[in-house]
A and B are shown apart, each in its own frame.
Chain A
Amino acid sequence: RKEVEQDPGPFNVPEGATVAFNCTYSNSASQSFFWYRQDCRKEPKLLMSVYSSGNEDGRFTAQLNRASQYISLLIRDSKLSDSATYLCVVNGGSGYALNFGKGTSLLVTP
């Protein structure tokens, strides 16, 4: 089983839609969780960390479910500029390694 698994998509949604991505992880000892955004052929950039109680940053909401070992990202009121690949990132439990999912591709259309 892969350490971190994501639905690769692509998710094609109209502007203004709400879209949600899920990501599952295999290591129950993992303690740190992040969502990164990557534009085509560019470097990954941190979108937000994911906290146990869930957290929100503007139109973006991240949730963590430790019992089921998944994290989610909700994007409300999608913008054209949200089109990108979203990477789920989980630390490996040992503390040092970060495991990246393969990414979920989002395309927001006019």
Chain B
Amino acid sequence: EAQVTQNPRYLITVTGKKLTVTCSQNMNHEYMSWYRQDPGLGLRQIYYSMNVEVTDKGDVPEGYKVSRKEKRNFPLILESPSPNQTSLYFCASSMQGLGNQPQHFGDGTRLSIL
């Protein structure tokens, strides 16, 4: 089954404790992206990757890191999480990053930073 898989689905942690949210897709997609969704603000792009070893900042990259060492994986790293990073996070992928293709989303990761 074609899918985008995020882990964990839920995480409660404390300020400053490094965490990684994994994202994996099995569709051989070149483009992958991370979003956060907050009430009243909609979906905002954090980082995206056009292909392996190619990443770029989205609208709200501060406090986040990403890597794309393999085509299928695109982890999101919070080196020193803070409460303002409490949010619902989505990973998405599409065949190419030309903006003319729909994106497939993972189930989401709900992060709470205390």
Contact = CB atoms under 8 A, between A and B. Distances in A.
A21 interface: no
Interface of B: 33, 35, 40-45, 48, 50, 56, 58, 88, 90, 97-108
Given A96-B98, A98-B45, A102-B40, A42 B107 contact: yes
Interface string A61-88: 0000000000000000000000000010
B107 A32 contact: no
Interface in A24-60: 31-32, 34, 41-46, 49
B99 A32 contact: yes
Contacts of A87: 42-43
Looking at chain A's contact residues, the main secondary structure is loop
A45 B42 contact: no
A46 B88 contact: no
